[in-house]
Amino acid sequence: MPFDLPQKVMPVPAASLKFTTNEEIDENYARLTATFKSGETRSLPYRRKQLLQLARMLQDNHTAFEDALLADLNRPRMETTVSEVAHLITSVMYAVENLESWAAPDPCPTKEAWRSSWGATLYKEPKGVVLIISPWNYPLVLTVNPLIGAIAAGCPAVLKPSELVPTFCELIASLIPKYLDPNAYAVIKGGVPETTHALALRWDHIFYTGNSRVGRIVATAAGKNLTPLTLELGGKSAAVVADDCDDLDVVAKRILYGKLQNGGQLCVAPDYALVPKAKVDAFVESLKKAHEDFFPEGDHPLSGPRPISDIVHPTHHAHLVDLLHRTKGKVVFGGQIHKDKSIAPTILTDVPVDDVLMGEEIFGPILPILAVDDIDEAIRVINSKPIPLVIYLFTTQDELKHKFLRETRSGQLVVNDTIMQLCVHEMPFGGQGESGYGMWFGKTTFDVFTHRRGCITVPFSDEPFFQGRYRPYTEDKYQAACAPGKVKIPDE
């Protein structure tokens, strides 16, 4: 199938998106709550059926999703297919294949023989009705991936996609009730007022992906009802080029690839690069070469047949342009601006640590390069900022990997590539502090929406062993109970 298909899903102007009313939000909540209380979503055959239907939805409508994100983000079909649709179908099938083992009770072996007959067991129970709030940058994968875990866990779910991608929002809202049980899964369309109304309801878990500013608002709302929460945020993820890296062409290609996905609007995009002073010039030349490979003659990133993705909102576009105007760094490549729509891949050198580009996450196709004396200075720069979602380290030395594991903090550490951790759905993914909290991906997403309920059965035949615990308390009972004093604790 050619990747330059005519667009069939027509763009939906933001002003034409019909928002869900507060009454409809309340009706959805009540309907899904009733479904959960009925126990219908708990059965494994039900969960399996819904997961397979979700996979069919993705497969049947993959070109429609490409169309929607082409309309909303000007994103190339290739990026949508690889990073969202294909990835999600694989993730759904992984959940289907492992559903029974994930949901099976876990026995808890006990140390003392006299407790082994109690059958200590952890049962996997769905938490209940959950709310999934997803952003605009990767709206399909960041809506559906948490949904996979919710379905697998047996939880009804309300989805709240971003209103900034109206074509996608309308599409997913039309498809969910066609493929999934409408009594267990629903979509809310709307902006801040609708989200605020939804957050006031008592959910059994909230899963939010977005920025830290809104994350704090969501956390505050969740706290009012003591609702458990997963926050998937972002941060300034560094790409560190070690002095031992000689193949700068490959390093530059991999960094630029991660930086330009979705126009740099990706929470795990490399935000800035830390490069040895002696290698900066060569690294810049390698980045230029990689850019030429990505955008050959006649395929300009702003005006070619497959341009870079748009900056989703004029306000964010203006913010990026303002950063370029105020930075003390030197633009050595790119910098072209397309009105309020897009920005060409831009590389800057001579960027000081306290530059405007080194404040908040850039979230755009701008790569500042900071020259460092050595790897220790690179670590100091990273540690001077809030904990990032990921650190990208390029090195041939295994000891450097362990040095970064010891001396830095991040959600993930990826060695010698960028963003490929997203392909490993068997490995939990998540941030720390400003980059979020809570892990997900694969079985871990199932665990997010699952309560591990402990259960023991104490036989009546054990009653003779319990006589010493009952009143009246006596000296003999006290001496028999003083086990802490009998435990041998080694000196070291």
In the residue annotation, 232 being an active-site residue is answered as yes
Of all helices (H) and strands (E), which one includes residue 366?
strand 366-372
The residue annotated as part of the active site, out of 155, 169, 245, 267, is 267
Length of the chain: 492
Told to judge if 482 belongs to the known catalytic residues of this protein, a careful annotator would answer: no
**How far is residue 335 CA from its own chain's centroid?**
29
Q: How far apart are CA 279 and CA 83, in angstroms?
A: 32
Indicate the SS3 state at residue 19.
coil
Query: Could you tell me whether strands 121-126 and 450-455 are parallel, antiparallel, or unpaired per DSSP bridges?
Result: antiparallel
Sheet holding 346-349, edge to edge: 330-333, 346-349, 366-372, 272-276, 238-241, 390-394, 412-415
Between CA 56 and CA 175 the distance in angstroms is: 11
Active-site option among 66, 232, 360, 434 = 232
What whole-number distance in Å separates Cα of residue 372 and Cα of residue 353? 10
Per DSSP, helices labelled H in 398-474 are 398-407, 443-448
Distance CA 487, CA 413 (A): 41
Token pair listed for 370:
């900071």
CA-only gyration radius of the chain, Å: 26
Catalytic residues: 232, 267
